[in-house]
Amino acid sequence: MTGALAIRDGVTYHPGYLSAPEQGDLVIALRAVLREAPFFTPRMPRTGKPFSVRMSNCGELGWVSDERGYRYQPAHPETGQPWPAMPKRLLQAWQELAPASPVPEACLINFYDTSARMGLHQDRDEDDLVTPVVSLSLGDTAVFRIGGTSRRDPTTSLKLASGDALVFGGPARLAFHGIDRVLAGSSTLLHEPPLAGGRINLTLRRVTRATVEN
């Protein structure tokens, strides 16, 4: 793991956070998760327009989107089954990258093929808007863009390669961010369905406000 880089206030980039063996082991763990909670295609609220990314989740809660809106729920929207537990390496990453934060409750698994994009958006569907967001990249490199808390704020772009980690919190917890494109063939990590080519993004979040014990 190389040194961390401060991209802007509240945003820290950890290039090469996951070693090659760790990436391979995590892909194996994700395949097990996806056998229990297969990818689904989320839809935009009201219009029902499908996203260009496919999604799943692991942890106590999972993020979903359909005509009823954006929300977290404890079960897969198609199978009705509870989300699988988070792999241990994801919990370890949280402890290392967001120390002293309450435990994560959700890990959103986004799969980007070479045509997928994610427009600028804020992570604001959580009750807890204080705990940082931790993001891990696997597979093809993506061009990531992050700005400020207003859509009009200037943005910074960086290439997130397989094994990279990004953490945003504090003044950047509600920063607008998105994926402009995926660089096809930049990694050979993902080579078997349902993870064949493209990019996986793992986003760990705290959803509910942690209670303080006296």
Unique residue bearing structure tokens 């802007």: 8
Give residue 199's domain range. 5-205
The backbone torsions φ and ψ at residue 67, rounded to the nearest 5 degrees and listed phi first, read -60, -20
* Residue 147 belongs to a domain: yes
Distances (CA, A) of 184 to 48, 109, 161, 181: 28, 19, 12, 9
Average of per-residue pLDDT across 2-15: 92
Distances (CA, A) of 132 to 38, 51, 129: 27, 25, 8
Residue-wise pLDDT for 149-169, tens only, equals 999 999 999 999 999 999 999
Q: Are 103 and 95 in contact (CB under 8 A)?
A: no
Average of per-residue pLDDT across 143-147: 97
Domain CATH for 19: 2.60.120.590
Number of structural domains in the chain:
1
* Residue 68 belongs to a domain: yes
- State the pLDDT confidence band at 2, using cuts at 50, 70 and 90: low
Distances (CA, A) of 62 to 30, 77, 126: 15, 9, 11
Structure tokens belonging to residue 84: 């699988």
* Residue 77 belongs to a domain: yes
pTM of the model as a whole: 0.95
CA distance 184 to 139: 9
Q: What is the mean pLDDT of the chain?
A: 95
* Residue 213 belongs to a domain: no
pLDDT beyond 60 at 116: yes
* Residue 210 belongs to a domain: no
* Residue 72 belongs to a domain: yes
CA distance 57 to 89: 15
Radius of gyration of the chain (CA): 16
* Residue 44 belongs to a domain: yes
CA distance 156 to 144: 8
pLDDT beyond 50 at 92: yes
- State the pLDDT confidence band at 196, using cuts at 50, 70 and 90: confident
Question: What per-residue confidence (pLDDT) applies to 1?
Answer: 53
CA distance 121 to 100: 26
* Residue 212 belongs to a domain: no
Question: What per-residue confidence (pLDDT) applies to 214?
Answer: 42
pLDDT beyond 80 at 101: yes
